[in-house]
Structure 1
């Protein structure tokens, strides 16, 4: 059987809706964002109007980040419909990073929202993850795309969930959400959307 089908069946078996969520922060996110049935006019402006992209739109709209960093090719975040400042990592790498001894050094920056389109190897993506940790705040939101697309992606997702700085993770099957809220107990949620 195909890996994606097996992963989806496991996801369905383990997933919950808002009734299985006891964290007020996650409950609000699920009920006010994930399950928001509003037909936003901006949906028509999306390059791809899939269920996943509509959810991604609602998540960005819900958190209203000032700055977004997108890592990886093939954009999912449409720059035309958000008022946030969106930077592609490749542009950022060329313009704002200095390379010294094969190590990237970030200037003092904060990214409120980071979208990782997992198009690199696990090692490269983990390097990006570690490299970007100094930019987090308590309210940072990271989304990692296609966490179940392959065994390698699932392994990467497991490593992220166990990272000591990561407090809350949410698996929506198509992407994983990562939060660093120090006031929260470490917890992982699997949410049907």
Structure 2
């Protein structure tokens, strides 16, 4: 990301931080419960320490990986060889978002969880630990990164993650019809407008009332902001929550009207 892009995102975040609402601005019981029971829950869990110890080890790693990049490209480097530490530092989601996913999964109890973009597998691990009885299907375009993620899952003794390797455009349409239901999908692998929109449309064929779709980096570029607004406007979407770095999309029928929230997190 260029310095100009970083400055632009920083300005957007400042505006978000100064204007985002809180639980006092919400009249939806569903969203109020999410705020009280999920967003505001700061309790530490043993699983958090295990995953963050792994993150620390990856950040200290001197290893490198030959990368096949099928997404929007690296934010920090050119060429095919990248340091494991750099991938972890720049591609992995912050701990507070992994922990948010853990709590959100405990709250919503999805059983079939799909992730586009495994990277080092830290978010996958948080989701898998959130409910060991759920199954996380994580798709990664680069075989070498997927292999490293598998090592990380094994080190955490996680056995409810199924990995798929290949282009999202091919793997996702093959995977979704095989699931008994699509309860959760986290899109974090190709931060461009049209691919993001296409993944949304693919998921839309399989969503139900309790499905949640999570989009990463919705304010990363003007194109990502545009596709986020297109998703909000879709007639099947009944509620969205903008947490700046991620956006949550819901399809609940019990909401009387379409509701969009920008909440501080």
TM-score range with shorter-chain normalisation? 0.7 to 0.9
User: Could you tell me how far 1:23 is from its partner in structure 2?
Assistant: 0.3
Structure 1: 5+ residue runs without aligned partners? 99-104
Query: Distance between the aligned counterparts of 1:54 and 1:124, measured in 2?
Result: 27
Give TM-score, length-normalised by structure 1: 0.86
**SS of match in other structure, 1:77:** helix
Counterpart selection for 1:67 from 93, 100, 112: 112
In the superposition, relative to structure 1, how do residues 169 and 151 fare at CA in structure 2: closer, same or farther (>3 Å)?
same
Shift of 1:73: 4.4
Q: CA deviation at 1:121?
A: 2.5
CA shift, 1:29, in A, is: 0.5
The CA deviation at 1:108 is 6.8
Higher helix share: 2
Q: Distance in 1 between matches of 2:36 and 2:172?
A: 39
Partner of 1:188: 260
Structure 2 CA distance for aligned equivalents of residues 169 and 95 of structure 1: 23
Q: Flag the structure with larger Rg.
A: 2
Corresponding residue number in structure 2 for 1:141: 212
- Does 1:45 find its partner at 2:21? no
2:149 is matched with which residue?
A: none
Distance 2:194 2:118 in 1: 17
Q: With CA pairs under 8 Å and 6+ residues apart, which has the higher RCO, 1 or 2?
A: 1
Alignment of 1:114-153 (within 5 A): 114-153=185-224
Q: Distance in 1 between matches of 2:171 and 2:177?
A: 12
How far apart are 1:126 and its partner, in Å?
0.9
Paired with 1:156 and 1:95, the residues of 2 have a C-alpha distance of 19
Alpha-carbon RMSD = 2.4
Quote the offset at 1:88 in angstroms.
Answer: 2.0
Structure 2: runs of 5 or more not aligned: 56-93, 141-163
1:97 aligns with 2:174: yes
Indicate which of 74, 81, 85 corresponds to 2:135. Answer: 85
**Native 8 Å contact 1:43 1:54 kept in 2:** yes
Distance in 2 of aligned mates of 1:23 and 1:108: 30
Classify 1:80/1:143 alpha carbon distance in 2 versus 1 (closer, same or farther; 3 Å).
closer
- Give the TM-score normalised by structure 2: 0.64
Deviations 1:110-136 (A, max 9, x none): 211111115243111211111111211
Deviation (angstroms), 1:97? 1.6
